[in-house]
Amino acid sequence: MTLSTQERRDGTRRPWSRIAPVSGRRFRQARVGLLFVAPMLLLFIVFRFVPTAGAFLLSLTDYSLSGEWSFIGVDNYTRLAGDDLFREALIVTLTYVVVFVPLTVLLSLGTALLLHQVVWGRGFFRGVFFLPYVTSIVLAAVIWKWIYDAEDGLLNGLLGLVSAGPVDFLGRAGAVLPSIAVTSAWKGFGYSMLILLAGLQSIPRSFTEAAMIDGAGAWQRFRHITLPLLRPVLFFVLVIETIQAFQVFDAMYVMTGGGPVRASYSLVYLLYDSGFKFFDFGYASAIGLMLFAVVLVVSLVQRRFVGRED
Amino acid sequence: MLLALTAIVTITPFAAMVLVAFAPPSGRTFPDAFIPSNVTWENFQNVLSGSDIGRWTLNSLVYSLSSVVLILLFASMAGYAFAKKRFPGREMMFWAFLATLMVPFQATLIPTYILVSKLGWVDGYWGLVVPTLANSQAVFLMRQFISQLPDELFEAAEMDGASEWRIYTTIVLPLVRPALATLGVFVFLWHWNDFLWPLVVGQSGEMQTLTVGLATLQAENVPINQIMAGATITVLPSLLVFGLLQRYLTDSIATTGIKG
C-alpha cells in the first residue's frame, strides 16, 4: 500500500519531486475548494449534522431544562408505545394525511388540466392560483379561521343566506381536520399545480392528436395517454405533499390550538408541547425521530407502489 | 367557466381579509363587513399602536434579508467549489448536504434549540438567523447552475493569473445572477413566512417575527378587524415580490422544482 501511493494512474512510478508541478496545481485546487466550501460546511456540521446525531442521542436520555441528563436507553420509546397522547396524535396526523393529500393533489391536477386547455389568460389564471403559495400558512390560518367562524364567519354568513347552518367548522371533531386541510390545500396547491402543468406541457401534442384521430374520447385520452406519461411528475407531487402533510402544525396551532379536545392535535404539535411546554427534551426528540421514521417509510412505500404499477 | 369560478374562490379569502381590515370595528359579521360605504383606516391605526407590529416587521426584515445575503454568498461559494474544484471528500460532502433534505426540520428542532441556547443565542438575531443558513436546496441549485458554465472560462482566467476570489467575484457571480435572483426571492419568501423556528427561538414579544406576532394577536382576543389589518400588513411584502416577479417565480418552480 505504501508503494501504490507513489504510483501514478498510468502505473509509472516517479519520485515525488518530479510530479510536483502537477500535484501543486491539484493541491491549490483542493485548498481553494475546501476554503470555498468551508463556511457552508461549518454551518452544516454545527446546525444539521450535530443536531441530527443529537436527536438520536437525546432520545435515549432524560434531559431536563436545567441541562442535567441521564442515559435511560429506549425508555422514551417504550413510553411512546404506551402513551395515549402519542397514539391519538398519530391517528390525527394519519387522518389529516389521508384527507389532505388526495384533496390537494386532485385540486392541483384539476386546475393544471383546466389551465393546460385554455390558451387565453393562462398566465393570469396561473398567477391567481399561485398567489396563496407565496403567503404564509399562518396568514392562511388567520384568514380561514374567520371564514369558518361559527358566528361572524363568511361561510356561515353565506349558509345563512340560504337559511342553512350555522356549522361550527372548527369546533366539531368530525369537521375540524377537513376544514384545516382545505385551508392548507388553498395555501399550497399552486406549487403542485405548476409542477403538474409543466409535466402536461412536456407531453407531445401529437400523442393526443393521434388518439383523437383514432376516436378516443376525452376520458380515454386522459386515462391512457396523459395519466401514464404524467406518472413520474404525479409521483413527485404525491411524495412532496405527503411529507408536507405529516409535518402539519402551524395551521393547527393558529386555528384550533389542537382542539376541540385534541381532535386536531398532530405529532408535531405533541413534539412542540413536549419540548417547549413540558421541557421534556428527550421525549420530544423521540417523537421527532418517529416522525423522521414515518416520513422515510412512507416515501419508500410510495416509491415501490407507484413505481411498480406499470 | 369552471376556471373563472375556481379563480374567484381562490381570491375570495384575500378579498375578505382586505374588506374586513377596512370595515369599521362594528362591522365584524359577514354582510356588514362587505358594505364598502364606510371604509376606515381605524383598524390599521389601532393595531399599529396597540401591538409591537413595527418591531415584528423589523425582525422579519432582519431575518429575511440577512438570510438572503448570507445564503446567496455561502451557497454560491460552496456551489462553485462543488461544481468546478476537485478536493478530498467532495462527493461525500455534497451528498451529505443533500441527505439533510430527508430529515424533517422538526426532528432536529429540540437539539438545535438546545445548541442555540448553549451558545446564548436564544431571543436574539444570531439564534434566529444562523441555524437556518445551512440550506441544502440553495447549495444544490448553485452547483447545478455553476456546473453549466464552461470550464475554459476558468482555465483562461487562471492562466491570466487571476486569484480564485477574483474569479469568483468577477466571473462566477455575474454569470449566475439570474439564478441568484431566483434563489434570493425564494429564500426571502421562506424566511418571511417561516413560523416554527421564530416561534421557538424568539420568546419575548421583542424578538417575534410578523408571522409569530400575527399568531399571538390571534390568540389574544384582539378584534378581528385589527387582526385582518395586521394580516394585510404581513402579506404586503409577499404580494409585492409576487407582483413584480410573478412570471419569474412560476417559471423557476416549473423548471427547478424549488419547494418551500
Tell me, yes or no, whether B224 lies in a domain. Answer: no
Residue B29 lies in a domain: no
φ, ψ dihedrals at B194, nearest 5°: -60, 145
- Band the pLDDT of A186: cuts 50, 70, 90: very high
* pTM of the predicted model as reported, rounded to 2 decimal places: 0.89
- CA separation, residue A163 to residues A144, A149, A157 (Å): 22, 17, 9
Q: Confirm whether B174 is domain-assigned.
A: yes
pLDDT at A18 over 60: no
In total, how many domains does chain B have? 1
Residue in chain B closest to A256 (alpha carbons) equals B219
Beta carbons of A127 and B113 less than 8 Å apart: no
Residue B208 has pLDDT above 90, yes or no: yes
- Which pLDDT score, from 0 to 100, does residue A46 have? 96
A189 pLDDT tier (thresholds 50, 70, 90) = very high
Average pLDDT over residues A255-270: 94
Q: What per-residue confidence (pLDDT) applies to B108?
A: 95
What is the ipTM metric for this complex? 0.91
- Mean pLDDT, to the nearest integer, of A93-122? 93
Contact criterion met (CB below 8 Å) for B229 and B18: no
**Which residue among A142, A250, A281 sits closest to B114, beta carbon to beta carbon?**
A281
Mean pLDDT of A36-47: 96
* pLDDT number for residue A23: 63
Question: How confident is the model over B163-203, as pLDDT tens digits?
Answer: 889 999 999 999 999 889 889 999 999 999 999 999 999 87
pLDDT value for B27: 60
- The phi, psi pair for B222, rounded to 5°, reads -70, 140
The amino acid at A161? L
Write the pLDDT tens digit of every residue in B63-82: 999 999 999 999 999 999 99
Contacts of B247 in chain A (CB under 8 A): 123
pLDDT, averaged across chain B:
89
Closest B-chain CA to A252: B215
The reply to whether B43 falls in a domain is: no
Query: In this structure, is residue B204 part of a structural domain?
Result: yes
Residue span of the structural domain in which B72 resides: 54-210+236-255
Beta strands in B89-203 (DSSP E): none
Residue B223 lies in a domain: no
Asked if A258 is an interface residue toward chain B (Cβ–Cβ < 8 A), one would say: no
Among A37, A103, A235, A300, the strongest candidate for a mutation testing the B interface, having the largest count of B CBs within 10 A, is A37
Per-residue model confidence (pLDDT) at position A6: 42
CA angle, A118 then A119 then A120, to 5° = 100
Q: Determine the pLDDT at residue B117.
A: 92
Average pLDDT over residues A176-205: 94
pLDDT digits (tens, 9 = 90+) for A126-162: 889 999 999 999 999 999 999 998 877 888 888 888 8
Is B241 a member of any domain? yes
- Is the pLDDT at A308 greater than 50? The verdict is no
All structural domains of chain A: 17-71 (no CATH), 83-305 (1.10.3720.10)
Q: Is the pLDDT of residue A196 over 60?
A: yes
End-to-end CA distance of chain B: 31
Q: Can you tell me the distance from the alpha carbon of B238 to that of B226, in angstroms, rounded to the nearest whole number?
A: 20
**The three cell numbers locating residue B21:** 381590515
pLDDT at res. B113: 95
CATH of residue B115's domain is: 1.10.3720.10
- For residue B80, the chain A residues in CB contact (below 8 A) are 36
User: What mean pLDDT is predicted for residues A105-115?
Assistant: 95
**A215-242 pLDDT, tens per residue?**
888 888 888 889 999 988 998 899 889 9
Using CB atoms, which residue from B3, B30, B164 is nearest to A118?
B3
Q: State yes or no: pLDDT of B221 exceeds 90.
A: no
In whole angstroms, how far apart are CA B188 and each of A97, B69, B103, B192? 28, 10, 22, 6
Q: Classify residue B32: in a domain, yes or no.
A: no
Of B100, B107, B200, the CB nearest to A288: B107
Residue in A147, A137, A173 with CA at minimum distance from that of residue A247: A137
Percentage of residues in chain B having pLDDT higher than 70: 93
Which residue has cell 418517529? A290
